[in-house]
Chain A
Amino acid sequence: MFYLKLAINNIKQSFKVFAPFLLANLVLFILTGSTLVILNSPMSSENMQYGIMTLNLAIIVLVIFAVIMSLYSYNFLLKQRSKEFGLYNILGMNKRKVGLVATIELFLIFLVTAFVGSILCAVFSNFFYLIFARLIHSDKLVLTLTPLAFASNIGIYAFIFLFLEIAGLRKIGKLSPLALFADSKAGEKEPRGNIIFALLGIASLGFGYYLSLSSSKIDAVLVLFRFFIAVLFVIAGTYLFYISFIAWYLKRRRKNKKYFYQPEHFITVSQMIFRMKQNAVGLANITLLAVMAFVTIATTSSLYTGSSQLVSALFPKNTNITLFDASNKDTETALEETILKEAGLPNKDVTSYKTALFANLPLASVTQAIIKENQELFTADQLKTLVNVYIITQEDYRKLGNDVPQLAQKQTALYMDNDAKLESLDIQGLKLDNIKNGNIDNFPEALQTYNSAALVVSNDTVFNEIITHLAYTYSENYDPVNITNFIELSTGEFKKLNHSLDITSGNYLRDSNGEIIGRLSNEKDSKEEVVTMYGGFLFTGFLLGISFLLGAALIIYYKQYSEGHEDKKSYTILQEVGMDKSQVKKTINSQVILVFFMPIVMAIIHFLAALTMLKQMLLLFGVMDNSLIYSVSAISIIVIMMIYFLIYKITSKTYYKIIER
């Protein structure tokens, strides 16, 4: 009973240190809890399951993050209170009993987190669910609160707290009461500011940036790999930058007597050297968390906004019926014969065209393309020339609203997004002249295929000739030719069509023998599909972004708190020696602002450098609109900056309160 009283008293007494720990746990508890509630709530449609897929991922990341953050803040808590524990120990409470007090405290915090957290979770999950449902355009607006979700959330946090308990007891076990009373300030050495590490930091930042900035023309799949490498380099570079480079730079400034011995720089530079030593790791963490927030929020919002744009471009008319194995069919009549007649729909206003897709032909960045069987393309330069090529006739390509110069029998035109400079082709001996290179404008197939090109040929004869010459690229019975049909159908007509067809999952069409003959899709359903999927992404990005920012805020609060106590004495001395109050305040301000905004500025630079890569990777998901990505990024930066500034305002109040007390 005594220990319980002591524990309660402790929490009341040092509420300033307990509060952020409790708050961080509460917020993370609510975030994971709400996600679990949404996951466990019965869903209205299959589509919704799609959107929920990424929430599983969100839970995993959130839990890992919760472990890291609560461990971090619990460690800070223990450190702040080591003197108190040392006092108990000297007053005759053995370590087991000190451990018991710490355990009771932790247990109380857990109870509060679980109890208050669950109540808040029930409230906030509805709010989160509304956001989620809106994002995925779901019409089911009522959330079912399942006890299972709450129970599993409490279970997860019980594990996290158990983990904290073990870590805490180990720490208390290692404490020596004498070390506890040693003056924590005594004998702090100057940071090294090692030039080698400083340069290493700059070099690895530079390399990471280079990897990103130089990947604008690199295959997206390769970019994914490069991104991973670049992230590792930038993380290492960020830590080294804060740990070594800044100390080294400040020390250089200090050596410059004219600069250093001025009241504006004297105190700031000398204190910053030490401040950086204590805070380097914290600042690096804040920077990286902010970058993570930027990346998750900006990419998921780009995906979300870009996806519906993409779908609109995919459907020149609201319904698409693509027929497979169409080598021997007539472009104009195939749709009517196989589908429309049976459904009793008129053959009105259909846009039909025939394409054949060949993967990995060496057409990019070359003037003369030679394509032959057993061609060996292994070097990086050779691999860069490979594109996925759609063959299409000039007549068909014009139907889509493209301008194509009149092509004679053996002439072609190549359209792709970059690096087209083709002059001639030799396909297994079939010689063609390429008279035009251009960008892809209206060609839905290209939007669905990564790294694609359209090779426009004069007529069906050449079209079929190429297919014959390239027959070695696919197996014997495979037919690479599709006929794509776009038709404007009313809802009634679409229902009628749907009824008459044998449609299996994935919207594949089958004939009476059960063979797949094509695929049906319409704009509305496709839009819904991507919206639910990317809506789930966006929601996940939003959840993670919030928690990353929360993590950053927590580190900042602790930083301000511990610095406030350390700086207090320095500023008293300065006033006694003859610095006036306003000057002291100015010095404090400049340091606080510098330390505060350095991470966010650094994070923005990281993010801007990463944009090139992110753009490439978003291409994989069909987001091609650069201006969209830029504006979404700009908005994310502004919003996150505003939140960050708010955090600054709140936490610096704590700092000044401590200083001025």
Chain B
Amino acid sequence: MLLEINHLEKDYRTRFSKEVTHALQDVDFKVDQGEFIAIMGESGSGKTTLLNILATLDKPTKGTVILNGQDITKIKESSLAEFRLKNLGFVFQDFNLLDTLNIRDNIFLPLVLDRKTYTEMDSRLQELAPKLGIGDLLNKRPFELSGGQKQRVAIARSLITKPQILLADEPTAALDYRNSEDLLTLFEEINKEGQTILMVTHSANAASHAKRVLFIKDGRIFHQLYRGNKDNQEFNKDISLAMTSLLGGD
């Protein structure tokens, strides 16, 4: 078992009222090594809160998150950055590349923070770049790239640390259909090579590339679908069906 999420709860209290919002209630699931999970829900469903807790950017009110036997909700503030650096990879919807660095250096960033040598960084990049199709972009700067290219660079940056889990927050939200499809296919390929991926999304199409889909509403996980042997299109139909019937969604 790679990751165990046990009875997670998160309450928010607004500053001026005593009303408590339950962002997460009794969220409980497990993730195996090599899984590709999509967490689906509408905005306000609590999916981003869940991701933030898994990313150690936020702490739960109750419950534990065990990664490889370690409760990551108990890690001290001072060691959190290092923990993230060594164990987690992030892909954001708006790419979050630094404008002041070129593409190569953007990808190197986490390794530089981890004090790896240039030779080591370079050899990891040589391995990664052709897979992601970014070999000829390395000397460019972020503003010269299209959205799809930027997102592939962001993936390279998250994979170069060889993370235990790749966390993706609406990675296709800022991309058009074709680029989204390319990106999701890329995720499938990376996953096939053994990378565990946990993706938060509101799009059924994006979720249909995952192996398992968790549905979240009002802070609770109340349904899940396994792909089994279905292809993307069939799985997409199942997901859409589940959404309309269960979430009462669009």
Interface residues of A (CB under 8 A from B): 185-188, 190, 257-258, 261-263, 266, 270-271, 273-274, 570, 572-583
Contact = CB atoms under 8 A, between A and B. Distances in A.
Interface stretch (B100-108, B173-181, B185-193, B232-240): B100-108
Contacts of B115: 262-263
B110 A577 contact: yes
Given A263-B113, A575-B81, A579-B81, A271 B100 contact: yes
A578 B84 contact: yes
Given A262-B112, A270-B105, 9 more contacts: A187-B143, A188-B99, A263-B113, A266-B109, A270-B98, A570-B100, A573-B96, A576-B84, A577-B84
A578 B118 contact: no
Contacts of A186: 143
Contacts of A578: 81-82, 84-85, 110, 113-114
Contacts of B101: 270
A576 B77 CA distance: 14
Nearest to A272: B100
A581 B110 CA distance: 15
Interface of B: 57, 77-78, 80-82, 84-85, 90, 92, 96-101, 105, 108-110, 112-115, 117-118, 121, 141, 143-144, 157
Contacts of A573: 96-98
A263 B81 contact: no
A211 B84 CA distance: 57
20 contacts: A186-B143, A187-B143, A188-B99, A261-B112, A262-B115, A266-B109, A270-B98, A270-B101, A274-B99, A573-B98, A575-B81, A576-B96, A577-B84, A577-B85, A577-B113, A578-B114, A579-B81, A579-B113, A581-B77, A581-B81
A193 to B, nearest CB: 14
Contacts of A577: 84-85, 90, 96, 109-110, 113, 157
A188 B101 CA distance: 12
A579 B118 CA distance: 19
Contacts of B144: 187
B100 A261 contact: no
B116 to A, nearest CB: 8
B78 to A, nearest CB: 7
Chain A interface, >50% SS class = helix
Contacts of A185: 99
Contact of B90 (A266, A576, A579): A576
A61 to B, nearest CB: 40
Contact of B98 (A257, A262, A570, A580): A570
A270 to B, nearest CB: 5
Contacts of B143: 186-188
A18 B92 CA distance: 36
**Most chain-B Cβ atoms within 10 A of its Cβ — which of A257, A578, A582?**
A578
Contacts of B98: 270, 570, 573-574
A271 B141 CA distance: 13
Contacts of B82: 578, 580
Contact of A266 (B57, B80, B97, B112): B112
Nearest to A567: B100
Contact of A580 (B81, B114, B117): B81
A231 B111 CA distance: 48
A105 to B, nearest CB: 33
A577 B88 CA distance: 9
Contacts of B141: 190
A573 to B, nearest CB: 5
B113 A274 contact: no
Given A270-B101, A271-B100, A578-B82, A261 B121 contact: yes
A31 to B, nearest CB: 40
B142 to A, nearest CB: 10
B112 A580 contact: no
A558 to B, nearest CB: 21
A126 to B, nearest CB: 48
